């Protein structure tokens, strides 16, 4: 039985992690996730990805320690996208939504942090407990202090303490909280809303944000305004760019073609 289930709804790809008992990720699953998300990246018909877990208890606890004990190397081959298929996937210029349906900790939280929008069930809980097992939450150590106050991020990393969905939303880790029974409905509404938007603009936004992490403001602005980024150059010479202007002038909804 496959640990991953995929479904395409229009321009949306849904990916559901289904690996009992807790949806932990081993090397083989990570490689498969990388293949799925690389396929999503490269398919011109797909515009948004939605990832969640099976059931209401676990989203993902991260690395499968039982698989590690059985021989999976912590520095093994995670696949093209790194752990969970998203964290290091090159050129991923499409929006990804995480619907956190339960326990989300360790590499599972790092997987969620790799998404662009995070929705959580009201009973979801979060932690970075790697410190307790004598290792480091590597991706979270890089990402979290850039996204929430430094001292809050360091407390989470240094103590490994658990926190609930309300606190996650308070610090901006989670966008919205929904009752468990409506989480997927709300996630699909969000995915459909974004999928109806201009895909070339999304691609440019994601590349700009990613490239800007390591650049000063004026340097990045120059790269954007002079179309030095491939996605920006494509956008500014596209049919969609002209369509957006025409639709505004004609007071109608634009029809995006992604070209």
Indicate which residue of 14, 110, 166, 186 is catalytic: 110
Q: For residue 174, how many C-alpha atoms fall within 13 Å in the half-sphere facing its CB?
A: 26
Q: How far apart are alpha carbons 118 and 99 in whole angstroms? A: 6
Q: Quick check: is 88 catalytic?
A: no
Catalytic residue selected from 45, 130, 186, 211: 130
> Active-site residue 130, yes or no?
yes
**Cα–Cα distance, 188 to 10 (Å, whole number):** 11
Rounded-to-integer distance, Cα 146 and Cα 210, Å: 13
Q: State how far the Cα of 223 lies from the Cα of 229, in Å rounded to an integer.
A: 7
How far, in Å, are 45, 69, 206, 223, 232 from residue 127 at the CA level? 35, 22, 27, 37, 37
Judge whether 115 and 173 are in contact, CB under 8 Å. Answer: no
| Residues identified as active-site | 110, 130
């Amino acid at each position: 039985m496959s640990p991953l289930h995929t479904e395409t709804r229009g321009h949306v790809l849904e990916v559901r992690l289904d690996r009992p008992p807790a949806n932990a990720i081993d090397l083989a699953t990570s490689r498969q996730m990388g293949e799925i998300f690389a396929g999503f990246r490269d398919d011109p018909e797909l515009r948004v990805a939605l990832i969640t877990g099976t059931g209401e208890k676990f989203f993902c606890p991260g690395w499968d320690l039982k698989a590690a004990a059985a021989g999976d190397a912590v520095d093994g081959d995670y696949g093209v996208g790194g752990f969970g298929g998203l964290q290091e996937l090159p050129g991923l210029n499409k929006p990804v939504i995480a619907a956190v349906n339960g326990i989300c900790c360790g590499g599972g939280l790092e997987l969620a942090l790799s998404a662009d929008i995070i929705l959580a069930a009201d009973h979801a809980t979060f932690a970075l407990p790697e410190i307790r097992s004598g290792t480091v939450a590597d991706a979270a150590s890089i990402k979290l202090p850039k996204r929430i106050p430094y001292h809050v991020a360091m407390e989470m990393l240094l103590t490994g303490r658990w926190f609930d969905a309300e606190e996650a939303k308070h610090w901006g880790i989670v966008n919205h909280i929904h009752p468990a029974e409506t989480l997927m409905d709300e996630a699909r509404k969000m995915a459909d809303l974004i999928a109806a938007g201009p895909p070339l603009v999304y691609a440019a936004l994601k590349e700009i944000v990613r490239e800007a992490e390591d650049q000063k403001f004026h340097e990045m602005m120059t790269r954007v305004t002079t179309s030095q980024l491939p996605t920006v150059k494509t956008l500014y010479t596209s049919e969609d760019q002209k369509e957006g202007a025409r639709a505004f002038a004609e007071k109608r909804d634009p029809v995006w073609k992604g070209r």
